């Protein structure tokens, strides 16, 4: 493959990565799917898994069941006898005078969400997406070459644009294809 074709292939790969591959968004979607809830979390794959779990727990702590009718419906569906929610309230140190249907429904909902989380599965997904994220973050930049590819006439002009590059075109092509292929799996 000549230099111009390599540059065009790299450019197309980079476009595909920018348009189709968003590991942070995909991990967030996966988290919503497995918890079947409204966890509101900013996913940053630059964090450690422990920090990510802390962020998940903080997001779960923010989930509330508001309005009496919603709370009663939730409790009716998940704890008709109120045994579980009352036990949780006691564990958390609440006094009977502090309890209401919204509080009971909220603490029960938070517990149920936590119980549904499979941290080993989340860790596996986190590490997968983090690996893709790191590959994307560490892709060598072609700098202004991308914009110039359209106007390049021949191989010599291509070579002059990249002669001082740290990575060869073959390296960059291989790295971009690796990101795309890893993400498909």
Mean pLDDT across the chain: 81
This prediction's pTM: 0.70
**Mean pLDDT value across residues 11-20:** 81
Element of type H or E holding 83:
helix 83-91
The whole-number pLDDT of residue 1 equals: 64
- Could you tell me what percent of the chain has a pLDDT over 90? 33
| pLDDT at residue 29, as a whole number | 85
Of 104-118, 127-141, 166-180, the least confident = 166-180
Q: What is the pLDDT of residue 146?
A: 45
Residues 29-60: pLDDT tens digits?
878 877 766 777 888 888 899 999 999 999 89
Q: CA-CA distance, 76 to 81, in Å (whole number)? A: 8
Give the model's pLDDT for residue 86: 97
pLDDT at 28 over 80: yes
Short-list 134, 130, 147, 138, CA closest to 167: 138
Q: What is the pLDDT of residues 63-107, one digit of tens each?
A: 999 999 999 999 999 999 999 999 999 999 999 999 999 999 999
Question: Would you state the pLDDT for residue 153?
Answer: 47
Residue 178 pLDDT > 70, yes or no? yes
pLDDT for position 145: 47
List Cα–Cα distances, 125 to 30, 139, 152, 176, in angstroms: 8, 21, 41, 21
Q: 65: buried, middle or exposed (CB in 10 Å: 19+, 13-18, 0-12)? A: buried
pLDDT category at 170 given cuts 50, 70, 90 is confident
Q: Return the structure tokens found at 181.
A: 């292929």
């Amino acid at each position: 493959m000549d230099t111009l074709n390599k540059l065009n292939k790299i450019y197309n790969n980079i476009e595909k990565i920018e348009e189709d591959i968003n590991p942070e968004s995909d991990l967030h979607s996966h988290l919503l799917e497995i918890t079947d809830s409204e966890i509101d979390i900013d996913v940053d794959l630059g964090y450690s898994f422990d920090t990510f779990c802390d962020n998940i727990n903080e997001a779960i702590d923010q989930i509330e069941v508001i309005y009496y009718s919603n709370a009663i419906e939730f409790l009716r569906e998940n704890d008709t006898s109120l045994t579980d929610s009352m036990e949780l309230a006691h564990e958390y140190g609440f006094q009977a005078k502090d309890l209401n249907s919204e509080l009971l429904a909220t603490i029960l909902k938070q517990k149920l969400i936590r119980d549904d989380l499979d941290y080993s599965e989340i860790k596996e997904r986190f590490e997968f997406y983090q690996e893709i994220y790191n590959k994307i973050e560490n892709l060598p930049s072609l700098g202004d070459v991308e914009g110039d590819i359209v106007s390049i006439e021949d191989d010599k002009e291509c070579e002059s644009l990249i002669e001082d590059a740290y990575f060869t075109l073959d390296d960059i092509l291989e790295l971009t294809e690796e990101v795309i292929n890893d993400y498909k799996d």
